[in-house]
């Protein structure tokens, strides 16, 4: 296959996958390793992660590190076949980034995935408790934990109250979570955040919002 045919072939994959393609996907499409190397050396293909490529000249997609890490987890399967969450769900701080919540430090990519998945450097894989289908949504073509589930996961890891409160406040403002309903799900974490055993989920949310310098916000009305 010559370079022109290879680029056309790769373009069919990248068009549905943020402009990205893995080496395994390229191989399945008929573009072998030698051809991929030649495209890279010729400047027609750019390496954006281990065994992940982008067509030269294409704009970098937002949250490139998250997308690359997610593709690397199951590199032989196209992104559009993985949206059910059975092969990786973006979570925790990375879910906050995709939802636009809070101001958590950017660095490690976090996701739920099977224990057997390959994990690259800079990626943290969580195995339990696995989110169910009702706790997964799709953001920018990626399966992501819902805002409510994300807040619960952050509490489960013991993240400081100020950061969790900021995430909760943003989620409420954007209409992504009902804080009253969320209170029933998070009450169990109240003692871990310095509240008495008799404290309710509402008490915990009030504490988290106070730690973040926030009040319970009115949700966005569309």
Sequence ranges of the domains in the chain: 3-55, 64-145, 152-211
* pLDDT, tens only, 29-68: 999 999 999 999 999 999 999 999 999 988 999 999 999 9
Q: Once rounded to an integer, what is the mean pLDDT over residues 202-218?
A: 89
Please report the sign of the dihedral spanned by the C-alpha atoms of residue 154, residue 132, residue 175, residue 83: positive
Closest CA to 5 of 47, 62, 44: 44
Q: What is the reported pLDDT for 63?
A: 96
pLDDT classification of 121: cutoffs 50, 70, 90: confident
**221 pLDDT higher than 60:** no
Cα angle value 169/171/173 (rounded, 5°) = 70
Contact assessment for residue 85 and residue 140, using Cβ atoms and an 8 Å cutoff? no
Q: What is the reported pLDDT for 129?
A: 86
Selected residue with higher pLDDT from 188 and 218: 188
Please report the sign of the dihedral spanned by the C-alpha atoms of residue 75, residue 77, residue 78, residue 83: negative
* pLDDT, tens only, 73-111: 999 999 999 998 788 999 999 999 999 999 998 889 999
Helix (H) or strand (E) holding 148: helix 147-157
Which of the 8 DSSP states describes residue 117? S
């Amino acid at each position: 296959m010559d370079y022109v045919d290879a680029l056309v072939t790769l373009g069919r994959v990248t068009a549905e996958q943020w402009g990205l393609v893995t080496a395994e996907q390229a191989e399945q499409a008929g573009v072998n390793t030698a051809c991929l190397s030649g495209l890279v050396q010729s400047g027609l293909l750019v390496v954006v992660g281990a065994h992940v490529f982008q067509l030269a000249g294409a704009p970098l997609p937002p949250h490139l590190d998250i997308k690359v890490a997610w593709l690397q987890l199951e590199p032989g399967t196209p992104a559009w076949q993985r949206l059910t969450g059975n092969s990786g769900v973006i979570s925790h701080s990375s879910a906050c980034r995709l939802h636009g919540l809070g101001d958590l430090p950017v660095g490690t990519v976090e996701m739920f995935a099977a224990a057997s998945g390959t994990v690259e450097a800079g990626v943290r894989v969580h195995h339990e408790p696995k989110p169910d289908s009702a706790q997964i949504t799709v953001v920018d073509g990626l399966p992501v934990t819902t805002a409510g589930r994300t807040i619960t996961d952050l509490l489960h890891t013991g993240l400081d109250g100020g950061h969790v409160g900021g995430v909760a406040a943003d989620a409420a403002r954007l209409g992504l979570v009902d804080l009253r309903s969320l209170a029933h799900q998070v009450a169990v974490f109240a003692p871990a955040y310095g509240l008495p055993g008799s404290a309710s989920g509402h008490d915990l949310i009030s504490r988290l919002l106070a730690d973040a310098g926030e009040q319970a916000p009115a949700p966005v009305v569309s």
